[in-house]
């Protein structure tokens, strides 16, 4: 070695260490050694699937399948109700403190809050008309709706 110091013994030099720890330590040592030398430690890296074209075709076939009618209706209904409740809640929170719209220009905090609320509400309304593209999203909205809908209605009730 250039520094004149002693080289540390590698982990596999100790026979008293159990075999499974030796393998892990050896893998770690070789990974550190390969990283320092600039090589990718293939024996320690995750396996990658190199057959990308076939996997992309399978993914496209899975996402094109349509959900059953009851899941589609339930998912759309829960999603729509949730977005409407969120829009109403945002409009209520973003409304000005003083009831007149002329007073918006007097206080910049109210003006900023109303403009941001208008932007968020319009984003929610636009998203009402953009439906999910895959069947898993409708299923997720159905299951998520069991928890989120009562919580959002409770939150709207408390804020109102």
- The pTM of the full predicted model, rounded to 2 decimals, is 0.57
CA distance 134 to 62: 8
57 to each of 47, 63, 64, 133, how far by Cα in Å? Answer: 20, 10, 11, 16
Domain ranges of the chain: 12-46, 66-159
Structural Rg of the chain based on CA atoms:
29
16 to each of 11, 12, 13, 30, 102, how far by Cα in Å? Answer: 11, 10, 9, 20, 83
Out of 23-27, 78-82, 109-113, the most confident range is 78-82
Provide the pLDDT for residue 146: 87
Confidence band, pLDDT 50/70/90 cuts, at residue 84? very high
pLDDT per residue as tens digits for the range 23-50: 665 556 565 665 555 555 455 555 565 5
Residue of 75, 159, 90, 157 lying closest to 123 (CA atoms): 90
Provide the pLDDT for residue 83: 94
Provide the pLDDT for residue 66: 84
């Amino acid at each position: 070695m250039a520094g004149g110091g002693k080289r540390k013994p590698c982990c596999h030099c100790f026979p008293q260490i159990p075999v499974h720890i030796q393998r892990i330590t050896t893998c770690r040592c070789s990974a550190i050694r390969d990283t320092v030398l600039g090589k990718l430690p293939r024996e320690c890296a995750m396996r990658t699937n190199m057959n990308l074209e076939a996997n992309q075709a399978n993914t496209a076939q899975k996402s094109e399948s349509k959900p059953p009618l009851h899941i589609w209706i339930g998912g759309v209904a829960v999603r729509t109700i949730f977005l409407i409740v969120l829009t109403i809640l945002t409009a209520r929170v973003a409304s000005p403190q003083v009831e007149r719209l002329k007073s918006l220009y007097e206080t910049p905090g109210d003006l900023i809050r109303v403009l941001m609320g208008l932007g968020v509400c319009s984003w929610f309304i636009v998203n009402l008309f953009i439906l999910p593209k895959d069947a898993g999203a409708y299923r997720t909205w159905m299951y998520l709706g069991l928890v989120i809908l009562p919580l959002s209605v409770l939150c709207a009730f408390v804020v109102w």
